[in-house]
Amino acid sequence: MSKKETHLTVKGMDCAGCARNVKQALEGMEGVSSADVYLSSEKARIVHGPERPTLDEFRKAVEAIGYRIPGEEDPGGEQAPSVQDYARKSFRLFGLVFGAILLIAVAGEWLGLFDALTARVPFWAGTAAVAAIGWPVFRQVAVAAARGMVTPHALMALGAVTALIAGQWVTAAIVVFFMRTGDFIEGYTTDKARDSVRSLTELAPQTATLVRGEREEEVPISEVNPGDHILVRPGGRIPVDGTVLEGHATVDQSPITGESMPVEVTEGTGVYASTIAQGGRLLLRADAVGRDTTFGKVIAMVEEAEAHKGEVQRFADRFSAWYLPVVAGIALLTYVLSGNVMSTVAVMVVACACAFALATPVALLATVGSNARRGVMIKGGKYIEALARADVLLIDKTGTLTFGRPEISEIVPLNGCTEGELLAAAASAEQFSEHPLGRAVTEAAKQRFLTLKKPDRFEELTGNGVKAEIEGQAVVVGNERLVDAGAVDAQARDRIAAMKKRGRTVITVQRNGKLIGLLAAGDREREEVGEALSRLGAQGLRRVELLTGDNTESARDLAEKLGIDYRAELLPEEKIEIVRRYQEEGHTVVMVGDGVNDAPALAQADVGIAMGTTGTDVAIETADITLMRDDWNLVPELLHSARRTMRVIKGNFAFTTLYNLAGISLAAFGFLPPVLAAAAQSVPDVGIMLNSSRLLRSGDE
């Protein structure tokens, strides 16, 4: 039976525990095979059979545990706005109000200032007030408990109810107030982390100008199909991945690559959805739409990053699951040993599990989102964790350390020929060739503004080169096999040997049977690689090694320039075996490749990084991390970001653990009354928010 997917927006989730409860509710439905719930994007991806539950059934299952599914089904994955605007806009004002109420409530309760006032309020009225204020939380806890689930607020709700049973409705009211305050802070904290993800999704175009004959029509993006013609006006956002049919413009590709410099596009050039056309009008043919565009894949990757949990995240989930029962046991033991109901209430109130649930995902959301804005797509938290402990870096050569296309690096005229004459003759003969070396020769001539002559006759010499007749002269360009041994003198042989030693490809040029010169072609190295590798070494990578299928001379030349080890003439399976051997020795291996021919090694490595692969489906699907532009400086920045994230997560856990241990201990021994315990339980959330928000900023600590 074929499986299908449904994408839904889920509102009201503030922490990992909320997402876990929604996941359990959806997976408990008949016909649902699995469900992934993403806190960052407030979405759920549900896998089911053809006979799936209806949207109303999904909505009822989610609303039954206190969350909601707004609007209609989201079949194409367009991102519904998921922002708690009130929380973001009024947080400062709330802080002032909250501080005033905190001071009055805590001081007044502790000093007995409210005794005369509260004595005049009937107990039933106080209880009704507690129920009204805390109803959303009480209902969520009760419904979840009925389904065999425990929510993070279960203990605080139980503490408030226990205070009511003990006749302390004022204490219960203050506990509920701080419980709702905690919800507010958790929502704000999570929303701040979501901002970096949301800033990407808001770039997705919602409409397109469809051209049908002479008619132009503005339509929703969901109505555009591959093959349609799309008009993009100056300053407009390109709505699809497509090919330029008419027009010329500069395009800002920063939403995809993070690169601020625009690129020139003209007829035949490919363009990407969510990029911006500047200074020109374009007519496009749509090649991919919606979730199938490069930008759509990027958004899906960022949204679903939570599905790939590292060991730290899994530990946090397991810890949260056991934490509440353990605290409940401590509260019970406190009551048995002391008989003090208020101390028991304080233990339950101070030990909110939300901070533990927030410690990891908030930091990871911030890191994934901030890197995505720079053109670095990370598939999940486990790759951040693995990258942070990486000690071996393996690098492909062609298309990774180099640009993956040959360029003429040396021109050697012979037998009285000049450099310009030699290159013009070779390029004139090669101008109709489709071979990469032929295009390299032609491009070199264009860069020197040489005038090319049109051949009277042209012939491809398969596997060897080309032959052309130009103004009555026979010009032959190609490899050494095309030259008679007697035509190569000692000087030419020495130059050929030197070129080969440097790993260059030798191109011979003959005119009327006479060797008039040599051209050396090589793959140009990326200028920033040396500095980037130095930065990686300074960050503690123990070993950096070049793995390439290229010849030994070429690999040696590049490796010596960069000061790294190398292995050459490798088959794909040999690269995989090298990765495995390092892993068996206990190393954490990062593999950087171009995402196409390195796919097996990228998949085998602990972290596979695809380099400069805008629009390459293989790279996005295979690599764990995709760099959307050709910039090696992103690699050391990424390693720094990963290690910084793990420090923040460990700091979150350490602070939350020590804080809760201190709070529970003080509460159990009667030094922390329920009112102070209620106020104190929100502090870890604020601490995590402040600590994790550092990851939204770039730069060193």
Query: What amino acid positions are annotated as catalytic residues?
Result: 396
Question: In a 3-state reduction of DSSP, which class is residue 179?
Answer: helix
Instruction: Indicate if the alpha-carbon torsion angle 423, 426, 429, 430 is positive or negative.
Output: negative
Give per-residue burial for 541-572: e unless 16+ CB within 10 Å, then b.
Answer: beebebbbbbeeebbbbbbeebebebbbebee
Residue 286's DSSP bridge partners are 242
Give per-residue burial for 48-71: e unless 16+ CB within 10 Å, then b.
Answer: beeebbeeeebbebbeebbbebee
Neighbours of 132 (CB within 10 A): 9
Q: Tell me how far apart the alpha carbons of residues 679 and 349 are, in angstroms, rounded to a whole number.
A: 9
Neighbours of 223 (CB within 10 A): 12
Sheet architecture: strand order including 32-38: 4-9, 43-48, 32-38
Q: Tell me how far apart the alpha carbons of residues 671 and 183 are, in angstroms, rounded to a whole number.
A: 25
CA torsion 372-377-379-381 (nearest 10°) is -50
Q: What is the DSSP string of 288-349?
A: E-GGGSHHHHHHHHHHGGGGS--HHHHHHHHHHHHHHHHHHHHHHHHHHHH--HHHHHHHHH
Q: Alpha helices, DSSP H only, in 112-214?
A: 115-119, 123-146, 154-165, 169-201
Q: Tell me how far apart the alpha carbons of residues 541 and 639 are, in angstroms, rounded to a whole number.
A: 10
Are 352 and 667 in contact by the 8 Å Cβ rule? The answer is no
Residue 285's DSSP bridge partners are 229, 243
Q: Tell me how far apart the alpha carbons of residues 200 and 359 are, in angstroms, rounded to a whole number.
A: 23
Measured at the alpha carbon of residue 142, what is the angle toward residues 141 and 143, in degrees to the nearest 5? 95
Are 547 and 395 in contact by the 8 Å Cβ rule? The answer is yes
Burial of 392 (0-12, 13-18, 19+ CB in 10 A): buried
Are 550 and 569 in contact by the 8 Å Cβ rule? The answer is yes
515 contacts: CB under 8 Å, gap ≥ 6: 414, 415, 483, 487, 488, 492, 508, 509
Amino acid in the structure at residue 12: G
